[in-house]
Structure 1
Amino acid sequence: MKDATTMAETGTHNSGTSVASQLIRELELNGPFPDPRTDTDHESLVSIYPELAAVPTADIDIPSPEGGVPGRLYRAPGEALAGLVWVHGGAFIAGGLDMPEAHWVSLYLASHGVSVLSLDYRKALHGVRYPAPSNDVLAGWKWALENLDVLGLGTAEDLHLGGASAGAALTAALTGRLRDGAGQMPASLLLAYPLVHARLPPLSADLVGKMAGVPDDLAFGPDFIRDINLNFAGSEENFRDPHAFAGEGGLEGFPPVYIINSEADTLRASGELFAAQLEAAGVRVRMDMEPGSMHGHLDHPHTAPARHSVERMRAWLRARTAAPADRQLPSL
């Protein structure tokens, strides 16, 4: 993201153009930004983490009333002790199944006994708005429930839901939709550095101090957050819709929730407030902060914070899984 110093303070370029609007315009004109890294492709990940090579994967197209939803299956080699439907982030406008936050996280979890369905979704570009991305995730969730055997699961009680950043926003809000009648609830909800409020909550004094050393392109100010969320929601009226932003409504009846916040990340304010809201609603919630991390740290698989967080995720999922039974794994 460009000209982010101004973004962090006001959300605008010097010309007065919203940074979010400029970013959206660039993506609509030119498509996704290429990842300049040369060590996060599949072959590089396997060379560094050889255990990932044992994970069978398959790209699928999930049918939905609004068109196909791209997904990728990662089956645990052996007994699947849990299953996870996982959704990547990208400010609702970017990201995909190949980014490490999606691909590496899914490979790692599958290599440790957690089968994963990683989902893509329609981006809020070219007029796409809420609820389209949410509907895509709902279609993927329902597909997973209907195809537990493909994930090596014997019961839906072992199927969890989660996501990172914008993916966390989508899955948290979808959990509210499920609670309100859209389908079966997940065993638990797993959120990495989530933004679940329409507007960025106030930053604590500690967080303000932590942000002092953060690169400008990761210092997401309140105006930028508002503009990105408005682009997704389509209207400020939808800012009040808890099926778009889970933190804007009641949370009673949610399953257990695990939140992993990045340490130096303005979105940490949303994760912290959400944890407090969940606790007040009587929901079992655990919140951890990953030391030394900035927003999106799961997208950096060769760093200690990413490795530590994905291990936290594995432990959470395994601890909330029924005792494994004899489960036959169909061919992908």
Structure 2
Amino acid sequence: MTVTSDAVRTVEHVLDGPHGDLRVRVYDVPAGTTPVAGLVWAHGGAFMHGDLDMPEADHVARTLAGRRVVVVSVDYTLVPAVDYREALAAGDLTGGLSAVLAADGTRFPVASREVAFAFAWATGADLGVPARRWSLGGASAGGNLAAGAALRLRDAAGGQDDAAPVPPSCTVRPTPRSVVLAYPVAHYELPTPWPELAAKISALPPDRNFPPAAVRAMNDNYLGHDGGPEVPYAFPGGQDLRGLPPHLVVNSDHDALRSSGETYAAELAAAGTDVMVVREDGTTHGHLNQPDDPGCARSLARVAAWLTSDALVGTTHELPA
């Protein structure tokens, strides 16, 4: 299906993904302009909510397409929805999600593998962007998926063929030019916030806050158990981050998950990965899902500049021998 709106043309594809049908929506640049970069993008939603029409997917993609970035938005498979906030309020989450975890439903690694597959597809799909100009990104839970997919693609390019599934037509193992993460869930356990951030978190209303037990419950629901991650692709924080592409990490200011995004940026730098990290002043978690928030426009301008300017993006450094 092809739709044209506000000079941005969208085309939907159903891919033969690694776990069945996988829908993606391609946002092409306006007619008469030439694309300069590509981005495979995953929306957020606690791994269990969200779709291609939410602002964090559609508004982000349309804005970037208007700035000469072809965007492939991924409709990855969601995990079962659970009301972990209600359970937390009732005091039922003392040790993870065991009290409310649904017994069945799709869990990790499905969405993680789907995002890696979508990236491989985009680089060879003749979308007007050379394979070397494609980046990978996501917001919140989608940031987790993008970060994990970047690890998969690194390992697959290094010879671990089973790390990242690719379409049959893919003859070269693709790797991203860069990775863009917005307020990502990079760690299974939230890092302890520093005093400045802790003060901002304490002032947030309950519906805008993410207590550690709630984040643990959300992450357990993604995994399908409360025993913690078993492979590095589930939660890249604290893992071996050497040999990854340059990263742009944009965090919300008043956001408990900022402790994860900023800690992950520091871990990337310590591993020798080029990284730019920004705290978007005055914003709360999910500000890319709030098009009327001035912080949303500022962040998207940062992302567009990063994707389209060779001066901002660093180099993918080799793994040490």
Q: Which TM class, normalised by the smaller chain length?
A: 0.7 to 0.9
Task: Tell me the residue number matched to 2:93.
Answer: none
In structure 1, how many angstroms separate the alpha carbons of the residues matched to 2:227 and 2:35?
42
Verify: 1:62 aligned to 2:15, yes or no: yes
The reply on whether 1:187 has 2:187 as its aligned counterpart is: no
C-alpha deviations, 1:153-172, integer Å up to 9, x for none? 1x211000000000000010
Corresponding letter in the other structure for 2:76: Y
Aligned-partner Cα distance in 2 for 1:165–1:115: 21
Contact 1:241 1:248 in 2 (8 A): no
Match of 2:57 among 74, 99, 102: 102
Q: Partner of 1:275 in structure 2?
A: 265
- 1:134 paired to 2:112: yes
Structure 1 residue 246: Cα displacement: 0.8
Answer yes or no: is the 8 Å Cα contact 2:18–2:114 preserved in 1: no
1:115-164 Cα shifts (integer Å, max 9, x gaps): 100011111115211001112112211210221x22x11x2110000000
Aligned residue number for residue 297 of structure 1:
287
- SS at 1:248 equivalent: coil
Larger fraction in helix: 1
Name whichever of 285-294 and 127-136 sits farther off: 127-136
Correspondence 1:6-17 to 2 at 5 A = none
Distance in 1, Cα, partners of 2:110 & 2:265: 27
Tell me which residue corresponds to 1:158.
133
State the superposition RMSD in angstroms.
Answer: 1.7
- Cα distance in 1, alignment partners of residues 36 and 244 from structure 2: 22
Give the superposition deviation at 1:242: 1.2
Scaled by the length of structure 1, the TM-score of the pair is 0.78
The residue aligned with 2:27 is 74
CA distance in 2, matches of 1:120, 1:206: 36
Q: Is the 8 A contact 1:241 1:249 kept in 2?
A: no
Report the Cα offset of residue 212 of structure 1. Answer: 3.2
Does the 8 A contact of 2:116 with 2:150 survive in 1?
Answer: no
Distance, in Å, in 2 between the alignment partners of 1:309 and 1:232 is: 27
Secondary structure, in 3 states, of the residue corresponding to 1:56?
strand
AA at the equivalent of 1:178: L
In 1, distance between residues paired with 2:308 and 2:116?
24
Could you say which residue in structure 1 is the equivalent of 2:6?
53
State the alpha-carbon separation in 2 of the partners of residues 277 and 87 from structure 1. 22
Between the aligned residues of both structures, percent identity stands at: 41
Does the Cα contact within 8 Å between 1:278 and 1:285 map onto a contact in 2? yes
Cα deviation for residue 214 of structure 1 reads: 1.8
The 8 Å contact of residues 144 and 235 in structure 2, kept in 1 or not, is answered as yes
Paired residue type of 2:283: S
Question: Equivalents in 2 of 1:257, 1:157: separation in Å?
Answer: 15
| Separation in 2, partners of 1:321, 1:80 | 17
Q: Which amino acid aligns with 1:102?
A: A
Query: Distance in 2 between the 1:232 and 1:121 partners?
Result: 13
Aligned-pair CA distance for 1:233:
1.3
Instruction: Give CA deviations for 1:31-75 in whole Å, capped at 9, x if unaligned.
Output: xxxxxxxxxxxxxxx9xxxxx701111122121132111111100
Bigger mean CA deviation after superposition, 287-296 or 182-191: 182-191
Counterpart position of 1:34:
none
C-alpha deviations, 1:301-323, integer Å up to 9, x for none?
Answer: 0110001011110011011399x
Secondary structure of residue in 2 paired with 1:301: coil
**Residue in structure 1 matching 2:41, options 86, 91, 115:** 86
Residues 1:240 and 1:67: Cα distance change in structure 2 (over 3 Å): closer
Partner letter of residue 200 of structure 2? K
Q: CA deviation at 1:97?
A: 0.2
* SS of alignment partner, residue 20 of structure 2: coil
CA distance in 2, matches of 1:215, 1:54: 39
Cross-structure match for 2:150: 175
What is the distance in 2 between the residues matched to 1:231 and 1:297? 24
Residue type of the alignment partner of 1:94: H
Distance 2:310 2:71 in 1: 15
CA separation of 1:285/1:311 partners in 2, compared to 1, >3 Å: closer, same or farther?
same
Q: Once the 2 structures are TM-superposed, how far is the Cα of residue 248 of structure 1 from its aligned partner?
A: 3.3
Displacement after TM superposition at 1:238 (Å): 4.8
Match of 1:143? 121
User: Structure 1: which amino acid aligns with 2:144?
Assistant: A
- In structure 2, stretches of 5+ residues that fail to align are 81-103, 157-163, 165-172, 313-321
CA contact (8 A) 2:132 2:177 kept: yes
2-structure distance, mates of 1:68, 1:317 = 29
2:18·2:113 contact (CA, 8 Å) conserved in 1?
no
C-alpha contact (below 8 Å) 2:177/2:245 kept by paired residues: yes
Match of 2:78 in 1: 123
- The residue identity in structure 1 corresponding to 2:150 is T
Contact 1:158 1:321 in 2 (8 A): no
1:236 CA drift (Å) = 4.4
CA distance in 2, matches of 1:146, 1:238: 35
Counterparts of 1:60 and 1:177 in 2: how far apart (Å)? 23
Post-superposition offset of 1:200: 0.7
Distance 1:102 1:197 in 2: 23
